[in-house]
A and B are shown apart, each in its own frame.
Chain A
């Protein structure tokens, strides 16, 4: 038999570690650990004010106090402790909001892309109408109506951003629906919903995962924006967004209050989107 030679298909997988996967995982794991263990690892209470210790610089600048690694803000609260507690809120919001957005938008996208016809027309028009609203204004409006608080922030993210999933997953599903394996699933006696769930979904899943990671990053940013404009939780509670907002007022004499949370925000969002791409490649048996 000429065409039955056995190759070693798994050989390519080993070799150098995938940095696009491991670097973001390292940072996100670090942030997640800090968030979970916040009460244990934070050196100070994030809410304790001490006007004797206001605007202490970080450790590498003269005039600092030991124990205040990243300095203090204009009310004498420890920046590092507030960042660690802020990570809790950031990750909580991104996890819940992105998952809800993903489930809602992906299901609509899969249905529109696979069943087509009226399903597609109704869902696509809804997406068009939805996207005509300016998103930030929409979020502010929603939070204003529902009242401030984390639930409102999460609901606002899911209600605005489901269109991102619906659009991309619809297009991807349409491409997959034209493949012969969908017809051969019919030939093999599968119900339509079974074909969607067990044939098409596994092929769309890498895109869903990449988008989910992107959405987690976006959720962190949206939460920060809403905190920045004071529409998230109470302004006393430490969030990266509210720290950036406070830091902005003092940027000329205490830049560290703004810079450190900004770096944390930047690295977290970047990690999420890089991780999404990395995972997409990792789970694609063809690209592997």
Chain B
């Protein structure tokens, strides 16, 4: 299955396979049986667009995301980033590429080191890639995500959930990467913070020309934010294409079921009585 878009992909995945050892069913002798998480599929992440990756929990969407930024190494297959196969590069060879492959994590409490001040969290990677790294550079990044300069000297636990997630975004964009993986970044936030963080991400992606892979289980968020969508189920792709096409004419029952799960406002006739 190929994507129907016309722009060249920034990341192309070919025949991606990944399995984890299943320690719960390991016999006393011999290797543990393996659970296939990603079952050999190919996808393209188009350049300069926001691609949604949806699926129920356990569908392999987060695993796929972690392969895209090479926190995980696949068993086999290719992950072509701008033409380079990064699927099996070692950490030393990946390091120069990491500036372009950033990630925003699901849980900002856990992904921001509780011992470091906000400005240090943002500035440390900048320093490593020779892109500044002073406190004022960090404050500039904070401003971009709509946080006041005074937050630079805070610790993460002194911020609210929405503020923390903004710091996570600031850290990712401060390196001016080409690709950002956003892994369920609003699932821990209340509804009003969700909307603000999503609007911020959308603006930044447009202004900076970012390519974003947005992982979510919530199709209404995907519809609002994304250009393209990939629907995963049990490690296989069941639907993909431009958001409008997939949502208007879903090919698989899984997509239909996910679409059916979006709560729509229904007006009860007797509501006013």
Q: Which residues in A have some Cβ–Cβ distance to B below 8 Å? A: 1-4, 6-7, 9, 179-181, 183-192, 198-199, 202-203, 285-286
Contacts and interface: CB of A to CB of B under 8 A. Distances in A.
B113 A202 contact: yes
A187 B95 CA distance: 8
Contacts of A183: 71, 103, 105, 111
Contacts of B95: 189, 191
Contacts of A198: 124
Q: Which of A181, A190, A192 has the most CB of B within 10 A?
A: A181
Nearest to B129: A189
Interface in B147-170: 147-148, 150-151, 154-155, 157-158, 160, 162-163, 166
Interface in B134-184: 146-148, 150-151, 154-155, 157-158, 160, 162-163, 166, 171, 175
A189 B105 contact: no
B51 interface: no
Contacts of B101: 187
Contacts, number: 85
Contacts of B59: none
A2 B192 contact: yes
A202 B116 contact: yes
A180 B114 contact: no
Closest 9 CB pairs of A and B: A188-B125, A180-B111, A202-B115, A3-B162, A9-B158, A180-B110, A181-B113, A189-B98, A180-B105
Contact of A188 (B98, B114, B160): B98
The size bracket of the interface on B is 35 or more
A279 B61 CA distance: 43
Contact of B125 (A181, A189, A286): A189
A285 B118 CA distance: 13
Contacts of A192: 91
Nearest to B150: A6
Interface in B66-124: 69, 71, 91, 95, 98-99, 101-103, 105-107, 110-116, 124
Contact of B103 (A7, A184, A285): A184
A189 B97 CA distance: 9
B158 to A, nearest CB: 4
A179 B116 CA distance: 14
A3 B169 CA distance: 15
Given A2-B192, A202-B116, 15 more contacts: A2-B193, A4-B147, A4-B151, A180-B107, A180-B111, A181-B110, A181-B111, A184-B112, A187-B71, A188-B124, A188-B125, A188-B171, A188-B175, A192-B91, A203-B113
Nearest to A180: B111
A4 B163 contact: yes
Nearest to B113: A181
17 contacts: A1-B146, A2-B193, A6-B148, A9-B155, A180-B105, A180-B107, A181-B110, A181-B114, A183-B105, A184-B171, A188-B124, A189-B95, A199-B113, A202-B115, A202-B116, A203-B114, A285-B114
A3 B157 contact: no
Nearest to B168: A184
A197 B136 CA distance: 25
Contacts of A9: 154-155, 158
B128 interface: yes
Contact of A187 (B103, B148, B158, B162): B103
A92 to B, nearest CB: 32
Contact of A184 (B105, B148, B157): B105
Contact of A4 (B71, B103, B148, B157): B148
Contacts of B175: 188
A234 to B, nearest CB: 47
A4 B146 contact: yes
B196 interface: yes
Contacts of B193: 2-3
B26 to A, nearest CB: 17
A7 B159 CA distance: 9
Contacts of A185: 113
